[in-house]
Structure 1
Amino acid sequence: MGSSMSSCCGAEKVDRSFVSGAANSSWRMFTYKELHAATHGFSENNKLGEGGFGSVYWGKTADGLQIAVKKLKAMNSKAEMEFAVEVEVLARVRHKNLLGLRGYCAGAEHRLIVYDYMPNLSLLSHLHGHLKSEGRLDWKTRMNIILGSAEGLVYLHHEVTPHIIHRDIKASNVLLDSDFEPLVADFGFAKLIPEGVSHMTTRVKGTLGYLAPEYAMWGKVSESCDVYSFGILLLELVSGRKPIEKLPGGVKRTITEWAEPLISKARFRELVDPRLLGDFDEAQLRRVIEAAILCVQGEPERRPDMREVVAIIQGSDSRVAAKREGMRIESIRYGEDLMAMDQNSDDDVDAHDHDHDVDDDNMAGGKFGNDSSVYGVFGKMDVQKMHDPYAGYGGRRNMLHG
């Protein structure tokens, strides 16, 4: 990290070469004083969420910009690395469906990342969290989220140089702006792939339920791992079910295990979230399911790339048309050692080779209690206890509660 970063909260000077490609970036350096004032001293009233990384606060800058500030609580090597990776990646990406970097501050005692505030929080909040009863995810909105998220991954995998593997595609890392446009977020686990490299072997970082089998078991990571995770996200968006759900008696079932018998019999309508009340486009549903089936194939070479996924969903790729009858999903169950670690569908895994260790700070039984999950960059907002962060700024925008 070096001394070039430690000046931003002190002398307010910084060597922008900390981040590659900074010259053409729209992000800027923030001083700790600025962020302290914007968040009312990192007030509990402004807190949006808390996780193993630290806390996220809503803020408003002196020029009226609404921001979310991720304040890292740890100053250890692991936190430093994730901070550096996220800032490096965020400074590179420029796409309407990726949450870019607004700025950061790094001083002797502080590490803070600044994003634009997303008033509709995360997809997870609407599928499984405290906003699910509002019913704002109609079929059209879900399709827009699917295609927008996919386009963001196309950019990461095929358009930016070097290519970027996200490594943690999940519902809590798809944020929603005021118009429910999706932005893929949280690049702390991302990998930059040098030109000509097809895959890497690395320490496993990600979320159980979304992990591709070759990555979960052997640490082999490639763009195809993100494709697998996206396939799980497709099933989750269509069905409204969690990637891993706990059945009576404590038995755990993955979403692919649940979907496999329905898909094998082409009973696609029974896959659809009951909250949609039957209001969906059957042709679009079939294409989304076809894409999901291909994305979650066990062998990475059998999965499409994200450009092909977009084409399938849009109906412009006919390569699966001849195979529509009898299409099957591959239901791959994680090993018992990994399944035993899961306490709900959104636990983070920190594993290496066959020694699967869970990052305790991110376990559901830790910071968030036994019946909740890690809600992504902006955390879980408790609406009942949340003080109005817009108070005093001309009234609250009607975005959080519909």
Structure 2
Amino acid sequence: MRMSFTELENATSGFSEDYLVGNGMLGKVYKAILPNGWILAIKKLNDWENLEDEFVLEITTLGGLRHRNLLPLIGFCAEKQERLLVYKYMTNGSLDEWLHSNEVKANILDFPRRAKIALGIAKGLAWLHHGYELHVTHGSISTRCILLDQNLEPKISNFWEAKFWSKNDSALSWSLFPVAEYSGLGSYKQDIYCFGVVLLELVTGKEPHELTAQEIYLITRLVYLMQIKICLGKELMI
């Protein structure tokens, strides 16, 4: 849905710092409240001239992705020198904030809640890899791009490095050998590796740079076991 710049500007009181909820490499994210009561998240892109291809990809292709564990793109704005993307607002922020920035929130995330979050992320990834008309690889899964709604249901976001593959593309075939290191992984396997890192963060509460060599090895074994299950037809139910 195309939205006007004036409409989005008014919904954020002129993109006031009071409405700012995030600031990343690609741009700032604002909480917006529309006259009808809808609460949205607006990503206002920086240096959009160098991101025009990614912007078009987001609204033409990724805008069609619909799964309960993916952050839905609701609308966009392309007027003059402005490029904005509009998403459903996630009231509980990112998983990274819950795990690493707030001890109170980390304590709220008991094991059943963490398991539910892990399962939701897995379902979203499984749908991207196997459930859509094209295979989609995310490319940069991390706790920072996992957002949580009011029920702590995870939503995968930030598809700027996503790639699309034909279902007949041999590049998607799995190797049955365990992966020893992150570098050199294909996009498909990279998603699973990064998901393994997220799992370890959920289980240990540690940030990636705090993980031990033994824990990193656990990721490679996890990748190996998941590959075997997929090759045997034991894919996650989505």
The answer to whether the aligner puts 1:62 opposite 2:41 as a matched pair is no
Separation in structure 1 between the aligned mates of residue 92 and residue 125 of structure 2, nearest angstrom: 21
Q: Secondary structure at the match of 1:142?
A: helix
Q: Say whether the 8 Å CA contact 1:227–1:305 is kept in structure 2.
A: no
How many Å separate the matches in 1 of 2:216 and 2:115?
Answer: 22
Is 1:124–1:172's contact at 8 Å kept on the other side of the alignment? yes
Counterpart for residue 104 of structure 2: 133
C-alpha distance in 2 between matches for 1:87 and 1:173? 18
Structure 1 residue 179 corresponds to structure 2 residue 151 = yes
In the alignment, is the contact (CA less than 8 A) between 2:128 and 2:135 conserved in 1?
yes
Is the alpha carbon distance of 1:150 and 1:93 closer, same or farther for their aligned partners in structure 2, counting shifts above 3 Å?
same
CA distance in 1, matches of 2:109, 2:235: 22
Change (3 A) 1:196 1:125: same
Aligned to 2:128: 156
Deviation at 1:169, TM superposition (A): 0.8
**Count of residues in Structure 1 that have an aligned counterpart in Structure 2:** 229
Match of 1:42 in 2: 15
Closer, same or farther: CA 63–161 of 1 in aligned 2, 3 Å:
same
Aligned counterpart in structure 2 of residue 228 of structure 1, from 193, 196, 215:
193
**Structure showing the higher helix proportion among its residues:** 2
1:237 pairs, out of 179, 197, 202, with 202
Q: Distance in 2 between matches of 1:226 and 1:63?
A: 38
What is the TM-score with the length of structure 1 in the denominator? 0.53
Shift of 1:61: 1.0
Distance 1:72 1:47 in 2: 13
Amino acid in structure 2 at the alignment position of 1:38 = A
Letter in 2 for 1:233: V
3-state SS, counterpart of residue 188 of structure 1: coil
Name structure 1 gaps, 5 residues minimum.
1-27, 201-211, 246-254, 264-291, 312-402
Matches within 5 A, 1:253-332: 255=211, 257-259=213-215, 292=219, 294-297=221-224, 304-305=229-230, 308=234, 310=236
Q: Which of 84, 100, 108 is the equivalent residue of 2:80?
A: 108
* Deviation sequence 1:5-50 (CA, Å, 0-9, x none): xxxxxxxxxxxxxxxxxxxxxxx11110110011111001100121
Q: Which residue of 2 aligns with 1:17?
A: none
CA offsets 1:129-171 (integer angstroms, 9 cap, x no match): 2x33332211111011011110111110111111100011110
- Do the aligned residues in 1 keep the contact of 2:67 with 2:124 (CA within 8 Å)? yes
Residue deviations 1:320-343 (CA, integer Å, cap 9, x gap): xxxxxxxxxxxxxxxxxxxxxxxx
In 1, are the aligned partners of 2:180 and 2:220 still within 8 Å (CA)? no
With over 3 angstroms needed to count, the CA separation of the structure-2 counterparts of 1:239 and 1:89, relative to structure 1, is: farther
**Which whole-Å CA distance do the structure 2 matches of 1:112 and 1:213 have between them?**
40
The question of whether the paired residues in 2 share the 8 Å contact of 1:85 and 1:187 is answered with no
1:161 is paired with a residue of what secondary structure?
coil
Report the 3-state secondary structure (helix = DSSP H, G, I; strand = E; otherwise coil) of the residue aligned with 2:133: coil
User: SS in structure 2 opposite 1:152?
Assistant: helix
The offset of 1:84, in angstroms, is 2.4
What is the DSSP-based 3-state SS (H/G/I as helix, E as strand, rest coil) of the residue aligned with 1:199? helix
SS at match of 1:69: strand
Give the aligned partner of residue 166 of structure 1: 138
> What secondary structure sits across from 1:42 in the alignment?
coil
Q: Is the 8 A contact 2:193 2:220 kept in 1?
A: no
Deviation, structure 1 residue 214: 7.0
1:52 maps to which residue? 25
Over the matched positions of the two proteins, sequence identity in percent amounts to: 37
Rg larger in structure: 1
SS of the residue aligned with 2:112?
A: helix
Instruction: Please report the RMSD computed on the Cα atoms of aligned residues, expressed in angstroms.
Output: 2.6
Letter in 2 for 1:76: E
Change (3 A) 1:223 1:260: closer
Unaligned runs of 5+ in 2: 173-178
Match of 1:216 in 2: 183
- Separation of aligned partners in 1, 2:228 and 2:137: 15
Asked if the contact 1:38/1:60 (under 8 Å) is kept, the reply is yes
Q: Determine helix, strand or coil for the equivalent of 1:86.
A: helix
